[in-house]
Amino acid sequence: MKKTPGNGDFRLKQVLVRRSLPWALSGLVLVGAGCGLVLFEHGFSARMEAAVLLILLGFLSLAIVPVGILTAADRAGEKLRDLGVAMQGVARGDFERRLEIEGWDEVAQVRTEFNRMADDLQESQKLVRDKTAQLLASLAELKRLDQTKHDVLTLISHEIRTPLTAIKGGMEYLRASTGDVPADQRSVLESYNLFEILDIIGKNTSRLDRFMNDAMIMANLQSFSKRLTVTPAPARNIIGGIMADLAPRTSEMGLEVRNEVQDDQVWDLLGDVEILSIALEKVLENAVSHNAAGGRILIRQVDAVPGLGTAEVLRTKIGGAGRDPFPDETWHGYPVRWRLLEVYNTGAPIPQDRRTAMFSLFEMVGPMAHHQRGSGLSLPIVKVALERAGGGIFVASGEEEGNSFYLLLPTLDHALGKSTRPTGNLWDEAGQGFGGIPGDEDINPWGQETGLEVELAHAGPPTSG
């Protein structure tokens, strides 16, 4: 290979020649000085002989010194080439490479440091492999446990539903049978605490039934067995309906409820109405259940989650991963706008180390010893439901009291939502309305004796038969 000024070996030899040339010249000067002394002491003839000798020694030095320099340069270059090859091997992951050490020069010191570095890298690589294997094993175990939880939910929803229904049916039959018994017989039944027992059975079967419903909802959400039907729906109607159902409990607890969304008519929720309603219902039930008597509940739209950012920032962070119904951020050509809905309730702040775990299956915010109600499924249901809608849920707590849950929701401006609700008859391509929304169908009473005469608006003359 031709040596060029850019080649490492050539530069090395240049350095060695520059460093060795002064020593060679010094040698020539010393030889010349010695020959001068000889000429001065032994006369002219001796001077001539010394001059010839000096010239011969000079040429000999000029011939031998460069050869020695180049030989040393080749040996040093070979060692450095070995070092370069070894470094390339380490860069490719070959941590077994080591170099032989010869001498105590600078090159030998560099090779020694390389061996020490390779030892450290090999040890670190072994540690990384061991830790990676442990993490993979832990991840596999977590997946297995998560699958076990899912299997338990599926088992419960299928195997316990039938006996639970039988228990409820028997309890209701006993209540109906003992409702109108004569007073003397009723006193006998009361002596056995039958009515109290029936009340206990009724309350606990209702509690178990709610757990069963949560288990079935969670299993369906996780298995993606339900096909999403995306449609706009006024947020204030959904939230208002849920709070109306919770009104007896909020009144009993003396809670102050402020629903600012009730007066906000400018936007609609956009998604599967059933799934979004379940998510909102669970969050609002949680705000009531984990509140203190005489506490407050606040429902409002906000611009950002403290410390996490706006709806647009959060939407970018979660990236619409999974089965996002709005990959292009549009719906039927209309822009999807992401909004944050805050649900605040008074009460003890949720500890920082529990704010992520609380969205896992069967997780409780407090110790199990203090657990009195709840299945540990409500917040996981909210999380999965919102993720299926492309959104998410976040939590923040104050230093003294109160917790705020922030729901990232896909929405549509209310005017656009109204314009996307088509009207039509049963023969529309979308079926009876769109997404279950009624159209302009006007069906007269049918099932007449003359042969099921049915009249549809926009469908032409009546047809019989």
426, pLDDT greater than 60: no
Which amino acid type is present at position 169?
G
Average pLDDT over residues 236-262: 90
In the chain, % of residues over pLDDT 90: 14
Q: What is the mean pLDDT of the segment spanning 216-234?
A: 77
CA angle 63, 67, 73 (to 5 degrees): 150
* Pairing outcome for strands 296-302 and 256-259: parallel
Exposure on the CB side of residue 52, measured as CA atoms within 13 A: 5
Q: What percent of the chain has pLDDT over 70?
A: 63
pLDDT tier at 402 (50, 70, 90 boundaries)?
Answer: confident
* H/E segment holding residue 344: strand 337-345
pLDDT of residue 407: 93
Q: What is the pLDDT of residues 38-60, one digit of tens each?
A: 555 555 555 566 666 666 666 66
Per residue in 186-220, pLDDT (tens digit) is 888 888 888 888 889 888 888 888 887 887 787 77
Q: How far apart are CA 457 and CA 465, in angstroms?
A: 18
C-beta separation of 269 from 385 below 8 A: no
* Residue range 281-293, pLDDT digits in tens: 999 998 998 888 8
Q: What is the pLDDT averaged over residues 354-366?
A: 63
pLDDT of residue 367: 46
Three-state DSSP string of 359-388: HCCCCCCCCHHHCCCCCCCHHHHHHHHHHH
Contacts 24+ apart (CB under 8 A), 155-159: 156/211, 156/212, 156/215, 157/212, 157/215, 157/216, 157/219
* Domain-wise residue ranges, the chain: 8-94, 160-220, 232-419, 424-465
Confidence at 120, pLDDT banded by 50, 70, 90:
confident
Q: How far apart are CA 420 and CA 430, in angstroms?
A: 13
- Least confident residue range of 122-131, 242-251, 415-424, 456-465: 456-465
Cα R_g (the chain), whole angstroms: 44
**3-state SS of 234-245?**
EHHHHHHHHHHH
> Between 89 and 129, where is the model more confident?
129
- For the segment(s) 232-419, the CATH number from 3.40.50.2000, 3.30.565.10, 3.20.20.70, 3.40.190.10 is 3.30.565.10
